[in-house]
Amino acid sequence: MSLTVRMVLRKMKSRKMSVLLSSFIVAWAMAMLVAGIWSAQVMDVSSREYLDDNGMPDLFATLSEGVPAEDIEPSLSSFSSYQLRLRWNGRASIEGLNTTVVIIGVPEGGDELNRLTLLDGALYSAPDECVLVAGSRTAEDLDVFVNGTLMHLEVTGTVSSPEFLTNELSVGSIVPGSGGMTIVYLPLSSLQAVLGPMVNDLLLDMPDGMFREVAETSLSPLPVSSVTYREDHQTVVLFRMGADKFSTMPPAISLVFVLIGLISIFMTMYRLVLGDSRTIGVLMSIGVGRKRIALAYLAFGAVVLLIGSIMGVLLGYAFTAGVSQMALDMMGGIPMVLPMDPVPTITAIMFTAFAVMTATAIPVALVLRKSVNEALSYAPRARVRVFKRKGTSLAASLGLRNLFREPMRAAVVLVAVALSIGTAGSWVLMVDSAMTYLDDQMEAQQWDVSVAFNAPLDRADAIEKLSLANVNKVLPYASLAGALSSEGGTTGAAILASPNITEVRNFDFQKSSFQPGGVILATKLAGDLGVHPGDEVTFSLGGKEVDLTVSGTVNDMQSNAVYTDSVAVMDMVGEGKCRGAFVIMDDPKAAEVFATSISEDPLVGAVELGEEQASDIRSLFEGSISMLYGFFALNLLIALAMAVLATVISTSERDMEFAAMASLGVPKGFIWRSLAIEVGTQASIAALLSAPFAFLLAKQFALLMEEAVFFIPIILSISAITSVVVLGWLFIWPSVLWPIRWVKRLDVVRTLRDRSGR
Amino acid sequence: MSFLSVQQVSRSCMNGEETTAVLKDLDLEVGKGEMVMIMGPSGSGKTTLMNSLGGIEMPDQGGISLDGLVVTSLGPNDLNQYRREKVGMVFQFYNLIPTLTARENVMLALEGRKLSRKDSRERAQRQLDLVGLKGKSDRFPQEMSAGEQQRVALARALVKEPALVLADEPTGNLDEASEAMVLDLLLKARKELGTTFIVVSHNPRLKGHMDRCYELRHGRLSAI
């Protein structure tokens, strides 16, 4: 090791705190980068392995009516495997509640597709036994009314299945057809004994290379009411949302921390080389080349990088495992598969190395540009800005002037700390905005009760059936999950069709307005398809297609939402039929009584009050964004680290001043007060500055969020911003403890001697 | 008993693994209002002696007392109070706080005294006037010459009217005119306030104004 490198490394020993804090910030940035790239891989691999291991079918097809299995099988010859099931809605009283039960009859030996994983108890083995899907209301015995017949079933265990993995998540209102339902699997023969020898639910595996068109053509002789491909299935969509979220969010956040790390290293390095100007001058005067000196100081960056990388890899592994596990738990508790891929770590190290070495090299280059004379005669100078107000105490003046004695550095520190708080605060704004938006969305719903039927029902019959006392209006609807195509591409869409769609909910149009017969698209969906009002789109489902004209776009929490009053779309569930109806009451208070009375009807599958739906979605939202609060706290720690680093650097270069004050017998309280004012002011300005950063970052993160999960318009609310500012301030404020501790431990005698050359 | 009494003071310091005796059983008695000059080569222990007298560092052995107060038996807080109330220090490199103006630097020495802000300000201003810095009290140290900074340091040491002033090369960086002014101030303080001065200097012009001169060599004082 050369003498110059050894010299710099020894110098670092006296700056252990700065080195450690810089390394910590670098490690944090790196860990976020690693976690971003790696956790997306973990989620992707884990979900793929889970789906493959558990026989997730390529295609789900629902028939609008029951058909004997032997009539269906000829149409399925082109599929590699299939399972023909019977699915019906019944009603049962569980825990005193009259509940809709989804009953699925599974053929004997049907475990190749949609494999059931036993969570507790045992699988059914007798005709009167069944298993419940996790997330269902639990019971030991079930008395289920199916088509007017009472079935007594003994519940033998609880299972999870790929098709209902989301059932535990109560996401029914977000992902159509799932969430908190009571779902029962039982032998197909048991259900056929009640309903007749028919099936209406098809699970299909497509051979490699089979096109969708071919699959749909094969199914066209059957009365298919809906077709869902594996990629569009709620479980896969949820997995993809998770993977997308983790492939975009953490790397984006890590960039903020890379920037903060860069600033912290730059500050530390700048102070180190500037303080060493005379030494550098001496080295130059005895003929040591600039390149050699520069390399010696770059060793500092290398050490920070080394420590940061070691911590970063460990932290990155922990983050990845933690974040992936949390996300996979939220996605139904599927097992985590951690692929050992060095690419995320190598990518993160290379990126971080570039940033660290750049931040190190710039201040070195600035000092090495000086002539030998300039370097030798360098003396640190404070560029004092006068803060003088009548009544300002001496301690306050000292604190404020010290804060701004290096205006450029003060500005950089304030921006870096504010950026850290802002990053943390952006989560608070997002949560607040999401909740506010959720409330707005719920208020946009104009109905009081939503009723879903067990099977498609004539619209006129539905209106007649539901037009009870206190009912103002019945709005039949059909909700369908299919594919929406335009010239710009094809994507999955959740469509809600009702002849009175503008009475179902209010639309806050972003573009154009509603035209009868047209479709309203979520802004994100319209953007993905590249369509505008007036353009044509095609909705396809189960081999049927309907061409529609885009009449407008709206901001919608569900980024693939489509609304239409098209009768043609409604007819896709059966001509003149509907799947359910929204009910508007004369008096909303009468909704509960209406819901109770209608739920007894054998044709009614599910009844939901508008208020209940709002609370369900709110709890889902709260659950899925709870981890954002964790990020908030963790990011605040980085803000604290940055503030500590800044104050440590700033106070350590003032050792002589503290020693001088000690030698004058200046009371310690005076020094503490001036430090408290200095750090307190820094915290106040940074916390205030963090508000616009939080807003801007929240907007950026919301854009990423929209790509992955939900659309959230960021709203600048006073309460959220106040929380960010106050919490930010409270987190930064403790950084005063470090300089106080440092001053307490300052060796006055040694400082006076060293700095006066004695 | 003398006003300032140094008895059998010893102090060693570590140089790597080697222990070097800086002060060896050093004795010194100084009366109130006396001016004592200490000379000595570099490394002879002048700074250690001054730091010990100022209560900044403690001797390994021996005792120091000022006006009956046994300095060497004081704890950290009492030592701070001792420095604040009894001692004024003038450093060779002034050690002014760069972010405080000349007047504020002087006011700093009055912190902890039960003085109103107005009184503190007036006293600091008066002291600055006395050292010839009238009209420059709002300047920051870096806006002042070396001589002016030294005078601010002197004003800071004298403003609290200490019993003992420890001055380390107080005229080291001054031109002749400034040096004369500083000397006048020291003499005036002695005459009017009875201040005792211990001055470390190699300036032969100062020597003539001192009551006694010592050379510190091998850890002991010898009169010259």
Q: How do residues A249-262 score in pLDDT, each as one tens digit?
A: 666 767 777 777 77
C-alpha A285/C-alpha A190 separation (Å) is 97
Residue B199 lies in a domain: no
Phi, psi of A704 (to 5 degrees): -65, -40
Structural tokens at position A417? 């700390």
Query: What pLDDT is stored for residue A57 in this prediction?
Result: 92
* Greater model confidence, A653 or B34: B34
Q: What DSSP state is assigned to residue A369?
A: T
**Other C-beta atoms lying within 10 Å of the C-beta of residue A3:** 10
Structural tokens at position A652? 């350590």
C-alpha A577/C-alpha A461 separation (Å) is 9
Q: List the single residue in A397, A656, A756 with the smallest CB-CB distance to B92.
A: A756
A401: contact with B, CB 8 A cutoff: yes
Which residues fall within 8 angstroms of residue A273, CB to CB, at 6 or more apart?
A280, A297, A363, A364, A366, A367
Q: Does residue B165 have a pLDDT over 90?
A: yes
Q: Which domain holds residue B143?
A: 97-155
Find chain B residues with C-beta within 8 A of A384's C-beta.
98-99, 140, 142
pLDDT in tens, A429-487: 888 888 888 778 777 888 898 888 867 789 999 999 899 888 999 999 988 877 788 88
C-alpha A30/C-alpha A309 separation (Å) is 7
Q: Are B63 and B72 in contact (CB under 8 A)?
A: yes
| A398:B99 CB<8 A | yes
- How much is the average pLDDT of A628-652? 76
* Greater model confidence, A663 or A100: A663
Q: Does residue B198 have a pLDDT over 90?
A: yes
Q: Are A203 and A82 in contact (CB under 8 A)?
A: yes
Mean pLDDT of the residues in chain A: 81
Query: What pLDDT is stored for residue A68 in this prediction?
Result: 93
pLDDT in tens, A18-58: 778 778 878 877 887 888 788 878 888 888 888 888 889 99
Share of chain A above pLDDT 90, in %: 15
pLDDT-derived band at A173 (thresholds 50, 70, 90) equals: very low
Q: Are A667 and A393 in contact (CB under 8 A)?
A: no
Query: What pLDDT is stored for residue A178 in this prediction?
Result: 39
| B56:A752 CB<8 A | yes
Structural tokens at position B32? 């109130």
Query: What pLDDT is stored for residue A617 in this prediction?
Result: 67
Phi, psi of A701 (to 5 degrees): -65, -35
Q: Are A235 and A51 in contact (CB under 8 A)?
A: yes
What is the sign of the dihedral through the CA atoms of B135, B141, B145 and B148? positive
| B99:A384 CB<8 A | yes
| Helices A407-444 and A234-275: angle between axes, nearest 10 degrees | 170
Q: Is A578 exposed, middle or buried (0-12, 13-18, 19+ CB in 10 A)?
A: buried
Quote the Cα angle for A487-A489-A494, to 5°. Answer: 115
Q: Does residue A524 have a pLDDT over 50?
A: yes
β-bridge pairing A59-67 and A224-229: antiparallel
Listed residue (A21, A37, A33) closest to A263, CA to CA: A21
Query: What pLDDT is stored for residue A177 in this prediction?
Result: 38
Q: Does residue A709 have a pLDDT over 60?
A: no
Residue B108 lies in a domain: yes
pLDDT in tens, A108-127: 877 788 888 888 899 998 99
**Other C-beta atoms lying within 10 Å of the C-beta of residue A612:** 16
C-alpha B117/C-alpha B120 separation (Å) is 5
C-alpha B153/C-alpha B96 separation (Å) is 7
> At A99, is the secondary structure helix, strand, or coil?
strand
Residue B123 lies in a domain: yes
Query: What pLDDT is stored for residue A175 in this prediction?
Result: 38
Q: Does residue A148 have a pLDDT over 90?
A: no
Q: What DSSP state is assigned to residue A384?
A: P
Structural tokens at position A719? 């309460």
Q: What DSSP state is assigned to residue A207?
A: P
| B91:A381 CB<8 A | no
Listed residue (A625, A42, A631) closest to A328, CA to CA: A42
Q: DSSP for B128-192?
A: HHHTT-TT-TT--GGGS-HHHHHHHHHHHHHTT--SEEEEESTTTT--HHHHHHHHHHHHHHHHH
Share of chain A above pLDDT 70, in %: 86
Listed residue (B71, B77, B75) closest to B53, CA to CA: B71
Quote the Cα angle for A453-A455-A456, to 5°. Answer: 90
| B56:A656 CB<8 A | no
- How much is the average pLDDT of A147-154? 86
pLDDT-derived band at A98 (thresholds 50, 70, 90) equals: low
Mean pLDDT of the residues in chain B: 88
Structural tokens at position A215? 């699959």
C-alpha A199/C-alpha A71 separation (Å) is 10
Among the residue ranges A491-495, A741-745, B213-217, the one predicted with the least confidence is A491-495
- How much is the average pLDDT of A348-375? 80
| A664:B84 CB<8 A | yes
Residue B62 lies in a domain: no
pLDDT-derived band at A238 (thresholds 50, 70, 90) equals: low
Highest mean pLDDT among A68-82, A317-331, A486-500, A744-758: A68-82
Query: What pLDDT is stored for residue B30 in this prediction?
Result: 93
- The structure tokens 């077709």 sit at A227
Q: Does residue B8 have a pLDDT over 90?
A: yes
- How much is the average pLDDT of A63-73? 89
Q: Are A188 and A22 in contact (CB under 8 A)?
A: no
Residue type for position B93: F
Q: Does residue A389 have a pLDDT over 70?
A: no
* Greater model confidence, A11 or A483: A483
C-alpha A174/C-alpha A488 separation (Å) is 25
* Greater model confidence, A249 or A687: A687
Residue B128 lies in a domain: yes
Q: List the single residue in A382, A665, A668 with the smallest CB-CB distance to B83.
A: A665
| B99:A758 CB<8 A | no
| B108:A662 CB<8 A | no
* Greater model confidence, A285 or B94: B94
Q: Are B103 and A397 in contact (CB under 8 A)?
A: no
- Radius of gyration of chain B from its Cα atoms, rounded to whole angstroms: 17
Residue B109 lies in a domain: yes
Which residues fall within 8 angstroms of residue A536, CB to CB, at 6 or more apart?
A486, A547, A548, A549, A550
* Greater model confidence, A269 or A563: A563
A384: contact with B, CB 8 A cutoff: yes
Q: Are A227 and A542 in contact (CB under 8 A)?
A: yes
Q: Does residue A382 have a pLDDT over 60?
A: no
Q: DSSP for B184-196?
A: HHHHHHHHHH--E
B142: contact with A, CB 8 A cutoff: yes
| B97:A661 CB<8 A | yes
Q: Which of A398, A664, A678, A750 to mutate to test the interface with B (most CBs of B within 10 A)?
A: A664
* Greater model confidence, A267 or A518: A518
C-alpha A143/C-alpha A318 separation (Å) is 48
Distance of CA A515 to the CA centre of its chain: 35
Q: What DSSP state is assigned to residue A558?
A: B
Residue A28 exposure: Cα atoms within 13 Å on the Cβ side = 26
Quote the Cα angle for A263-A265-A271, to 5°. Answer: 100
Listed residue (B156, B118, B101) closest to A401, CA to CA: B101
Domain-wise residue ranges, chain A: 1-56+233-380, 61-223, 445-617
Q: How far is B41 from chain A (nearest CA, A)?
A: 12
- How much is the average pLDDT of A514-535? 86
pLDDT-derived band at A505 (thresholds 50, 70, 90) equals: confident
Query: What pLDDT is stored for residue A388 in this prediction?
Result: 63
ipTM above 0.95, yes or no: no
Q: Are B133 and B165 in contact (CB under 8 A)?
A: no
C-alpha A476/C-alpha A481 separation (Å) is 17
Distance of CA A253 to the CA centre of its chain: 12
* Greater model confidence, A379 or A225: A225
Distance of CA A300 to the CA centre of its chain: 37
pLDDT in tens, A200-219: 999 999 998 888 888 888 88
- The structure tokens 């220090």 sit at B89
pLDDT-derived band at B60 (thresholds 50, 70, 90) equals: very high
Query: What pLDDT is stored for residue B10 in this prediction?
Result: 93
Query: What pLDDT is stored for residue A733 in this prediction?
Result: 86
C-alpha A564/C-alpha B170 separation (Å) is 92
Length, in residues, of chain B: 224
> At A226, is the secondary structure helix, strand, or coil?
strand
Structural tokens at position A172? 């029914």
pLDDT-derived band at A3 (thresholds 50, 70, 90) equals: low
Please list the residues that pair with A479 across neighbouring strands: A496
| A663:B57 CB<8 A | no
C-alpha A419/C-alpha A426 separation (Å) is 10
Find chain A residues with C-beta within 8 A of B83's C-beta.
662-665
Among the residue ranges A252-256, A711-715, A733-737, the one predicted with the least confidence is A252-256
- How much is the average pLDDT of A401-417? 84
- The structure tokens 């090369």 sit at B169
pLDDT-derived band at A390 (thresholds 50, 70, 90) equals: low
A659: contact with B, CB 8 A cutoff: yes
* Greater model confidence, B164 or A488: B164
Q: How far is A522 from chain B (nearest CA, A)?
A: 59
